[in-house]
Amino acid sequence: VEAAREELLSPKEWSRRAAYQVLATLRPREAASILSRGMSDASPVVRESIADSLEALANRYYYHLVAVRMYGDLESRRFVDENRANMMESLGPLLRTYPLHAKRVFIDLVIESGDDGYPLVAETLAARTEPATVAAFLHALSTSITEPAVELILRLSLDGRPRLADAAADVMRLRKDAGFPALLATVFSRMAPDRFDSIARRTREVLWWPTVESAPDIDPFTAAKLLEFLAHSGVDAPRRDAMILFFLNSDYADVRVRALATLQSLGHPGLLQTAETLLQDPADDVKLAAARTIIGINPANKARILMPLLSSGSEEVRRMATREVASASFDRYLRSFDRLPPETREAAARALAKIDRRIVDRLAEEITALDPERRIRALRVIDYVDAETDLRQNLLALLNDPDRRVRATAIKIVTLTESVEGMKHLVAALSDPDRRVRANAIEAFEDSGDPRVVPVLLPFLRDEDNRVRANTAKAVWNLGNEEGKRTLQKMIDDPDEMMRLSAV
C-alpha cells in the first residue's frame, strides 16, 4: 500500500495506473476519495482506469444503498454507514469531471442518496457550468423509476432558486412514462403527513399533470393519493377542480366516487349538477354516492331529482331514493296539511306510511317542535296512521304540554286505560283547566268500556262546561249507569242554549 502511494507520483503513466488499481483493491474504503482526485491526472489512460475503478466502487455502494431502501438489509446498512462519508466526498470531483468519464452510475448514485446527495444536485443544476453534466441529470431524472428520483424532482420544484425549479419543470415535461403517476402516488403515500401537506400547500402549479392526463387509466390507489394532493394543493380553485373532474372519466367506480367526495369536501360550486349527472352512472356505488351528495345539499327539488332512482335495479339505491322521496313528500304534506280536506289528510297520511318506513321517526321529531301548530298536526297524523303504540312514551310527555290544544289532542289519541300509569294520567287530565282536555279524558274513560270508572266520572255530571257535562253523561250512560241518561234529559231543558245543543 505504501509503495502504491509513492507510485502515485511516478512520471510513468503505467506506474500511476497500477498504483491506483492496487489502492482500489487493497483499500476500497479509502480509495474513492483518492481515486476521485486522480481524475485530474494528465494521462487519459490513467483517467480511464480510475473511472473504471470508481465505477466498480460506486456500483457496489449503489447496490447496498438500494438494498437498504427496499429491504432494510442490515449488512447493507452497515456497509453504507461505513462508506457514506468517503463516497459523498468523492462524488463532488466526479461530477465536476463528468464530461471526462461520462459514467451514469455517479449520477444515479447522487440521486439515490436523497438528502445526502441533494446539495450536489442543487450545486450542479444551479451553476450550470457543465452543460453535459446538467443534461445527464435531467435525463436521469426524467427516466428514473425510483422513489428517490421522484422525491428529488418534487424538492427541486419547490426550491426557491429559479434554475432549480426550471430544471424540475424541464424534467416533468420530459416524463411521458405511463407508470410515473403510480410512482408519484407511492412516494406521496410514504411521506409523513405534515411533509405531504407542506409540499401540497406550496404547490401552485402541478407540473406533472400532463403525465397524468396522458396515462391510459389510473388505478384507485394512485387516484386516491393524487386527489388528496390536489385537494390540499395551493392551485387556484377553478384549475384544481377541473383536474379533479378529470377523474370522473375513470373506468374505476371507486375513483369516480372518490373524485365526487373530494369535490364535495372542497365545496365545488357545480357539485349539485355534477352529482345529478352521476345519477346516470352505470355503477350502483356511484349512484349511491351521488344520491347522498344531493341529499346533503338538500335542494328544493330533491325529490324530483331522486325520483328516477325509484326504478333502480339496486335494492339499496331504491331504498335510499324511496326514503328521501317519501321524506320530502312528508314535508310537503305537513306544509299543506291545513289546506287539505279531512278525508284527503287521512288517505295521504296512510299512503305515506306505506312507502316511508321512517315516518314514525319523523313524527317523533315533529311532536317535539317548538311550534305548537306543528305538534298538533303531528298528533293528528299519528292518529291517522295508528302510530300511538310506537310513540306512546313521546305522547305521554305531551299530556303536560304548555299548549292546551296539544294536551287535548294527545289525551284523545293515546290509549291510557290499559295500565295503572295510564289511568293516573287520565285522572290528572280530569283536573286540567282546559275544557277540551277534560272532555277528551272523559271520552278516553268511556272507550275503556270498564264500568268501574263510573264513580270517577259522576262528579263531572255537574261540570259547568256543556261539552264536559255532555261527554260525561254519554260516557256514564254507555257504561251502564242511568244517571247519565237523566243528566242528558235535564240538559235538554236547560236555559243555556249550549247546554241544550250538547245534550242533543
DSSP notation for 140-179:
HHHH--SHHHHHHHHHHHT-SSHHHHHHHHHHHHH---TT
> Taking residues 101-122, what's their average pLDDT?
89
Confidence (pLDDT) at 30 = 67
Report pLDDT digits (tens) over 6-30. Answer: 887 888 888 888 887 887 777 766 6
- Terminal C-alpha separation, the chain: 132
How far, in Å, are 92, 241, 456, 467, 470 from residue 442 at the CA level?
Answer: 102, 66, 10, 10, 10
Report pLDDT digits (tens) over 204-227. Answer: 888 889 889 988 789 999 999 999
Confidence (pLDDT) at 392 = 73
> Taking residues 486-500, what's their average pLDDT?
92
Highest-confidence range of 186-195, 355-364, 387-396, by mean pLDDT?
A: 186-195
Confidence (pLDDT) at 245 = 96
Report pLDDT digits (tens) over 254-313. Answer: 999 999 999 999 999 999 999 999 999 999 999 999 999 999 998 888 888 888 887 888
Confidence (pLDDT) at 420 = 63
Of residues 487 and 415, the one with the higher pLDDT is 487
For residue 56, what pLDDT band results from cuts at 50, 70 and 90? Answer: confident
pLDDT of 343 higher than 90: no
pLDDT of 395 higher than 90: no
Among residues 241, 285, 249, 242, the alpha carbon closest in space to that of 265 is found at 241
Confidence (pLDDT) at 194 = 92
For residue 409, what pLDDT band results from cuts at 50, 70 and 90? Answer: confident
pLDDT of 341 higher than 70: yes
> Taking residues 435-451, what's their average pLDDT?
79
Would you put residue 72 in left (φ > 0), alpha (ψ -120 to 50) or beta?
A: left
For residue 474, what pLDDT band results from cuts at 50, 70 and 90? Answer: very high
Q: Contact at 8 Å (CB) between 414 and 445?
A: no
For residue 422, what pLDDT band results from cuts at 50, 70 and 90? Answer: low
> Taking residues 137-155, what's their average pLDDT?
90
Confidence (pLDDT) at 99 = 83
Confidence (pLDDT) at 415 = 61
Confidence (pLDDT) at 279 = 94
Angstrom distance (rounded) from CA 271 to CA 244: 12
**CATH pick for 429-504 out of 1.25.10.10, 3.40.50.300, 3.40.630.30, 1.20.120.1750:** 1.25.10.10
Of residues 242 and 114, the one with the higher pLDDT is 242
Confidence (pLDDT) at 419 = 58
pLDDT of 492 higher than 80: yes
pLDDT of 190 higher than 80: yes
Report pLDDT digits (tens) over 356-389. Answer: 767 888 888 888 888 888 888 888 888 888 887 7
> Taking residues 79-98, what's their average pLDDT?
84
High-pLDDT (> 70) share of the chain, %? 96
Among residues 66, 74, 62, the alpha carbon closest in space to that of 105 is found at 62
Confidence (pLDDT) at 28 = 65
How far, in Å, are 56, 84, 185 from residue 188 at the CA level?
Answer: 33, 26, 5
For residue 77, what pLDDT band results from cuts at 50, 70 and 90? Answer: very high
Whole-structure pTM over 0.75, yes or no? no
Angstrom distance (rounded) from CA 197 to CA 203: 10
Find where cell 432549480 sits.
164
Average pLDDT, the chain: 86
Q: Contact at 8 Å (CB) between 355 and 322?
A: yes
Residue 344 carries which side chain, given as an amino acid letter?
A: T
